[in-house]
Amino acid sequence: MNNAPHLLIIDDEPQLRNMLQRLFVGEGYTVATVENGAQAMQRLKAQRFQAVLCDVKLPDANGVELTKAIKSQQPDVEVIVFTAFGTISDAVKAVQNGAFQYLVKGDDNDKLIPTVSRAVEKARAQQLIEQPKQDNPFEAVTGRTSAIQQVIELARKVAPTEATVLLTGATGTGKEVFANAIHAASNRAGKAMLAVNCSAFGNELLESELFGHVAGSFTGATKDKKGLIEAAKGGTLFLDEVGELSAAMQAKLLRVLETGDFLRVGDTVPQKADVRIIAATHRDLLHESNEGRFRQDLYYRLAAFTLRLPALAERKADVPLLAQVFISRFAAKLKKPITGMDDSVKERLLSHPWHGHVRELRNVIERACILCDGPLLDAASLPLEVQAEPEQKLGAIYELEQVEREHIRRVLAHTGGNKTLAAELLGIGLTTLYAKVKRFDL
């Protein structure tokens, strides 16, 4: 299944249209292009998109007005209107017609890719299709060792309840996989499961994302906006990296958990929250709360039921099983006749320390499948640091930040610099990846 985001570009300038298509294809998008409004509406009837990039001046339509028709055709698609000659009145009208953003060509070029990425993330949340409760949602969790089976059993027991769940463990151990499985096994399975990375937003933006806002509450807030707590009504909200919340946001989240209500930014009328919270962190929140860096009352609310996910090193016997699952997945995706791995690969995988845990293993297997030309993965298809014999690894760098920097560098090299695909492989948001690239000077 192709999980690439689908983008429609509407512009009557062939050179610009083709340049934008190449740009977004390079970022991992599936892109369709049309040159006028009539073609756009025909395409929207035939295909579902997450985002539309629409010029204002079209041969047969005005992009600002066309936005309303696009939203009528596909209500959950997000429209970014862009123009060479921006006006305040057009910007206001575009947002009133349902546009996600209004950009000016040239002035806002640096904002284009991040804006489209955010639009896609919002559209995908809106396009969640209600699915019946699965018979065994925990089949998505691979592992036979007692370390992982004990966590699965605890997760099964808490899933049908309304208890808040705190998932702890190192980055890459599969916390979001467990969150999805718990939701799918819960009585809320037919409703939305929305996720937000609390480290990916500034304080003000995160507040708006979670709680929503009313028109006029801040500059640019031209209409009321639902937050994720409202959007996930009846369902589940997954708060990843909850330990990164500011003190102010901790207080606001505590209110939701204690009283069941919240305030939109700029509003005075409380709204009722009907959402189950599953939170995740790689931090030791009990230690953080004892040190005064995280509210103790919020910690105990979040930790009503805590599940610690084991590091991959704690369940080494699961490595070959996980690797085989990933081989099957990527062989199908790449349409290659790869059926397994030879003994040399298995030996290397079992000896590798896996500081990046399951996520690192997944990325290693994907790379190996791309390079493999035969029916079995061999050691030559593995990255150099995995190919090395155990005694050659003694000089490896173990500082967490350096490991993270090197892992991101390798993934970016693997994707040829495609940040959208890299973010997907890493299991983080594109905004988070941009921030880490800047921090690590990659």
Same domain membership, residue 298 and residue 208: yes
Q: What is the rounded distance in angstroms from the CA atom of residue 358 to the CA atom of residue 367?
A: 14
Same domain membership, residue 321 and residue 205: no
Q: Say whether pLDDT at 345 is over 90.
A: yes
Q: Is residue 47 part of a domain?
A: yes
Q: What is the rounded distance in angstroms from the CA atom of residue 124 to the CA atom of residue 429?
A: 13
Same domain membership, residue 297 and residue 180: yes
Same domain membership, residue 381 and residue 280: no
Q: What is the CATH number of the domain that holds 338?
A: 1.10.8.60
Strand 261-262 and strand 271-272: pairing?
antiparallel
Q: In what order do the strands lie in the sheet with 305-308?
A: 193-197, 236-240, 276-281, 165-168, 305-308
Report helix, strand or coil for 322. Answer: helix
Q: Is residue 68 part of a domain?
A: yes
Q: What is the pLDDT of residues 134-188, one digit of tens each?
A: 568 898 898 989 999 999 999 999 999 999 999 999 999 999 999 999 999 999 9
The one-letter code for the residue type at 105 is K
pLDDT at position 98: 86
Same domain membership, residue 276 and residue 224: yes
Domain boundary among 252, 285, 308: 308
How many CB atoms are closer than 10 A to CB 268?
A: 7
Same domain membership, residue 195 and residue 112: no
Cβ–Cβ < 8 Å for 158, 138: no
Q: What is the rounded distance in angstroms from the CA atom of residue 121 to the CA atom of residue 125?
A: 6
3-state class percentages of the chain: helix first, strand second, coil last, to nearest 5 = 50, 15, 35
Q: Is residue 342 part of a domain?
A: yes
Rg (CA), the chain: 23
Q: What is the mean pLDDT of residues 93-114?
A: 81
**pLDDT grade, residue 130 (50/70/90)?**
very low
pTM of structure? 0.59
Burial class (CB in 10 A: 0-12, 13-18, 19+), 275: buried
Q: What is the rounded distance in angstroms from the CA atom of residue 353 to the CA atom of residue 35?
A: 53
pLDDT at position 76: 85
Same domain membership, residue 73 and residue 215: no
Q: Which domain holds residue 59?
A: 6-126
Q: What is the rounded distance in angstroms from the CA atom of residue 118 to the CA atom of residue 179?
A: 22
Q: What is the CATH number of the domain that holds 98?
A: 3.40.50.2300
Q: Say whether pLDDT at 308 is over 80.
A: yes
Q: What is the mean pLDDT of residues 59-63?
A: 90
Q: Say whether pLDDT at 47 is over 60.
A: yes
Average pLDDT over the chain reads 86
Same domain membership, residue 183 and residue 292: yes
Same domain membership, residue 261 and residue 145: yes
For residues 74 and 106, the model is more confident at 74
Q: Say whether pLDDT at 128 is over 70.
A: no
The encoded tokens of residue 361 equal: 């293993």
Q: Is residue 131 part of a domain?
A: no
- Cα angle vertex 2, ends 99, 345, to 5°? 135
Q: What is the mean pLDDT of residues 236-254?
A: 95
Q: In what order do the strands lie in the sheet with 78-83?
A: 30-34, 6-10, 51-55, 78-83, 101-104
Domain boundary among 102, 126, 150: 126
pLDDT at position 109: 67
Distances, alpha carbon 171 to alpha carbons 64, 196, 324, 385, 386, in Å: 43, 15, 22, 20, 19
Phi first, then psi, for residue 79 (nearest 5°) are: -110, 125
Same domain membership, residue 323 and residue 295: no
Q: Is residue 132 part of a domain?
A: no
Same domain membership, residue 339 and residue 280: no
Same domain membership, residue 262 and residue 142: yes
Q: What is the CATH number of the domain that holds 225?
A: 3.40.50.300
pLDDT at position 354: 93
Domain boundary among 126, 154, 171: 126
Number of domains in the chain: 3
Q: Is residue 1 part of a domain?
A: no
Q: Is residue 378 part of a domain?
A: yes
pLDDT at position 221: 72
Least confident of 5-19, 220-234, 409-423: 409-423
pLDDT at position 102: 86
Q: What is the mean pLDDT of residues 38-45?
A: 90
